[in-house]
A and B are shown apart, each in its own frame.
Chain A
Amino acid sequence: MSQEKFAFHLDKNFTIGTIFLIFFILFVSTTMVFAQNGTPPTDNEVNAIAKDLYCPVCENTPLDVCPTVACAQWRDMIREKLTAGWSKEQISQYFVDQYGDRVLAEPPKRGFNWLVYVLPPIFFLGGCILVYKNLRKFKNQKPGVDSGNMDKNDPYMQEVEEALQLMNRKDQGN
């Protein structure tokens, strides 16, 4: 009896378990079948993700245009992930987890990386202040004033200028 009970329990558990298992398999396979039967990702869809990811091996080459065999395999990987229903963000994160931040087009905005975003504007701002200080010094003068400096510091030309001035004074004196 106890054995029958046990058998019943076993059967019952087995049945419930089997039903759950069947449902699970059905659910998973339906999802997979859906994913596999849905329109497979086009090359353009793959490239749309690949263009924002950089080849982990080559320098500064986006994955969508990288001609190496390794990059072709990584594009295939993107295709597989898309087929499996992954989103763009999930795929990007997968590549970051696998190969580090260098696969991203720009350093993520955190910690030390902030320097790349902050320093050029600070430098430019400093330049703006310097230019502003220089421009503030301007004096209002009449149009057409052009002091020029042609050979002002050339001793020979200074000599010439002084001689000419002397001549002018002499002319005026006469």
Chain B
Amino acid sequence: MHSLVLDIAGTLSAAANLFVVAAGLTLVFGAMRIINMAHGSFYMYGAFAVTTVLGVGAGWRFWLALLAGAVVAAVAGLTVEVTVIRRLYDAEHLTQLLATYAVLLIFADIGQRIWGAGYRTVNPPAVLASGVSIAGVQVPRYQLFVIGVGAAVGLALWLMLARTRFGWLLRAAVQDPESVATGGTDLARLRTGVFVIGAFLAGLGGALIAPMQSIAPGMDVSIIVSVFIVVTIGGLGSVAGAALGALLIGLAQTLGAEFFASWAASLIYLTMIVVLAIRPWGLLGVPER
């Protein structure tokens, strides 16, 4: 029982955090067919921005810092979209991968200039710092908070895509960009908007995890592989798929830690291999033409 409650909370919070980051990546891919390695940089910048805003203190500034992390990433995203991504819309995936990898390298060095090479930490606000008892087991409140944010982001994205004109335009822009453009929509602005939302989510994911881990250079590269796996398993472009992929990876990590300790790290890659061997377009993906 003890172990089960902890495992469920741990799996869900890890999955929720991965989902927030992965949702941004897959949203951008779904709307623009752009694969973005620099998504990892946005995530890292989100986390570092929190350390800048928060310093050692916590309190009400935590909520501001969370927002600031996401906004810093969004601004970085806007810059990248305007300078680089715009030139890549009709490019091949290889070109996109290389160009955005170049951006990741550039951001890594700029980040180290701004925030240094050392580890930084921030504390969660007092209200989220302690544990709460569930079925007699102490579970960190912050894990529950992360799960809540993950769910809220999922809901917000669903509402945006399914219920707003913006969402309708996005879906239309993928299927038939020309008619959207002739319908009077500024396609370039639409794309910029989506990219900025994607970066915002990456930054939010980084900001969200900031109180739970050390914040240091290299976060960009280590997250990007994880989220690539999540979005590929789920199906590129599918937000629901990203949620499913994040849950699957969280579950694989938990089962790996419980049952195959020394092979745990292999398990997430094996999961992806098995999923794609069975469904080459991911769980909820659609075949590209």
A and B from one complex: no
Which B positions have Cβ atoms within 8 angstroms of A?
A: none
Which A positions have Cβ atoms within 8 angstroms of B?
A: none
